[in-house]
């Protein structure tokens, strides 16, 4: 018990000494041992890494789960080391409502049939979203959290120790300075100076040792950056896969709706890519929405006979195919991504379509699947 009381008294004395030293430094009444420029740069780099990692982590969590209540619930489950319950995505919930609506409104009616088709697509979109969230959480969020809750806590602990060692060192320097001043006035014995010098040597050794440990940890931030870079690539890859799946599901749905008897077809013509553009840069559709309109000529006019179609004397262009396209019928030309074809327009054509030629094959092609080359 006496030992514990002595230890508590010693700890209290050390804490008081450090507090006094820190306060005097703040008021400019005591000298402070400065770290070298390289060490200060390492500290600043580590702080910046920690701050931006926190911001990126929080915003990615918002991206993956916009509902703040759901995020709080997931956080609590994680802290309690319990499995987060499976949650229905918004797309899956929408699919459920559409399927129920079709069942009640008539699954054989045009509206009901379309609701069923869209519900199936929304269900697939919801499943793709669930996979993306799961993959992004494992490959991106978890490593960021591990850094903040593991490596950064270790770095912070060692930095606090280094701060204490520095305060102890500076306190020893101050005591030695006072001892030498007193010795000069013959008010202290020489052994008091020797004691202060010994304490200073011990404090300096402990400070140097702790500075080296902290420096090594701070230099490890470079490895953290490399690891986060790899995780960032994996996050982008999973996001690319997710949006590609969404695009394929929606394109498939659009094709189904375009061929479905009785499906409503809007009369609003979307903007098309002009063939007469003289811009030196290429014109590309970054995310094709699929062809709207169903033919070469306005409704009510006879379809053109492809065998009789000849390219105009001028106005033909080369185009690179952006995405695979499966021909809906014999009047269309099937496309493969990255191939080059010749395209041109004819009077009366739907602006969202062109005539495409590849060798001796010819057919309609959707503009949104092409990158028109200058």
pLDDT for 177-213, tens place per residue? Answer: 888 877 666 655 577 888 888 999 999 999 999 999 9
Rounded Cα gap, residues 357 and 363, in angstroms: 7
In angstroms, the CA 35 to CA 281 distance is 54
pLDDT at 293 over 60: no
Residue of 236 and 87 predicted with greater confidence: 236
Backbone phi, psi, residue 198, to 5°: -65, -45
Mean pLDDT of 228-240: 95
Q: How far is CA 349 from CA 15, 270, 330, 357, 365, in A?
A: 86, 14, 17, 16, 12
- What are the residue boundaries of the structural domains of the chain, listed by start? 10-258, 317-373
Condensed to tens digits (0 to 9), the pLDDT of residues 129-154 reads 999 999 999 999 999 999 999 999 99
**Per-residue confidence band for 70, with pLDDT thresholds at 50, 70 and 90:** confident
- The CATH architecture that domain 317-373 belongs to is Roll (2.30)
Distance (Å, rounded) from C-alpha 246 to C-alpha 132? Answer: 11
What is the distance between the alpha carbons of residues 288 and 178, in angstroms, rounded to a whole number?
80
Is the pLDDT confidence value at 296 over 90? no
Q: What average pLDDT does the chain have?
A: 80
> At CA 85, angle to CA 79 and CA 91, rounded to 5?
125
Judge whether 328 and 312 are in contact, CB under 8 Å.
no
DSSP string, 22-51: HHHHHTT-S--PPPPHHHHHHHHHHHHHHH
**Highest mean pLDDT out of 86-95, 263-272, 296-305:** 86-95
CATH homologous superfamily of 10-258 equals Arfaptin homology (AH) domain/BAR domain (1.20.1270.60)
CA triple 50-56-59, angle to 5 deg: 140
Q: Where are the alpha helices (DSSP H) in the chain?
A: 2-26, 37-64, 68-79, 90-105, 110-136, 142-146, 152-184, 190-219, 221-259
């Amino acid at each position: 018990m006496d030992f514990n009381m002595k230890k508590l008294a010693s700890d209290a004395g050390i804490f008081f000494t450090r507090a006094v030293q820190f306060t005097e430094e703040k008021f400019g009444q005591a000298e402070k041992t400065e770290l070298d420029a390289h060490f200060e740069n390492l500290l600043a780099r580590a702080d910046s890494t920690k701050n931006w990692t926190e911001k990126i982590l929080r915003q990615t969590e918002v991206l993956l789960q916009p509902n703040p209540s759901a995020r709080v619930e997931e956080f609590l489950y994680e802290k309690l080391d319990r499995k987060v319950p499976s949650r229905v995505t918004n797309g899956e919930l929408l699919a459920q409502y559409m399927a129920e609506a079709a069942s009640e409104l008539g699954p054989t009616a045009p509206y009901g049939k379309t609701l069923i088709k869209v519900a199936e697509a929304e269900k697939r979109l919801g499943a793709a979203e669930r996979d993306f969230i799961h993959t992004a959480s494992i490959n991106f969020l978890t490593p960021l959290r591990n850094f903040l809750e593991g490596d950064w806590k270790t770095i912070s602990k060692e930095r606090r120790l280094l701060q204490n060692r520095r305060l102890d060192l500076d306190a020893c320097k101050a005591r030695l300075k006072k001892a030498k001043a007193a010795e000069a006035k013959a008010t202290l014995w020489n052994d008091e100076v020797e004691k202060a010098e010994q304490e200073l040597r011990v404090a300096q050794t402990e400070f140097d040792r702790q500075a080296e440990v902290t420096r090594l940890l701070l230099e490890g931030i470079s490895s953290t950056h490399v690891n986060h870079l790899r995780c960032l690539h994996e996050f982008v890859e999973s996001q690319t896969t997710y949006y590609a799946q969404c695009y394929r599901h929606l394109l498939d749905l659009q094709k189904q709706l375009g061929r479905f008897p009785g499906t409503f077809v809007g009369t609003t013509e979307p903007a098309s890519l002009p063939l007469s553009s003289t811009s030196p840069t290429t014109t590309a559709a970054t995310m094709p929405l699929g062809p709207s309109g169903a033919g070469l000529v306005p409704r009510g006019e006879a379809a053109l006979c492809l065998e009789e179609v000849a390219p105009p004397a001028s106005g033909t262009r080369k185009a690179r195919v952006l995405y695979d396209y499966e021909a809906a019928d014999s009047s269309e030309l099937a496309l493969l991504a990255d191939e080059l074809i010749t395209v041109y327009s004819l009077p009366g054509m739907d602006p969202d379509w062109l005539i495409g030629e590849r060798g001796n094959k010819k057919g309609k092609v959707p503009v949104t699947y092409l990158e028109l080359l200058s």
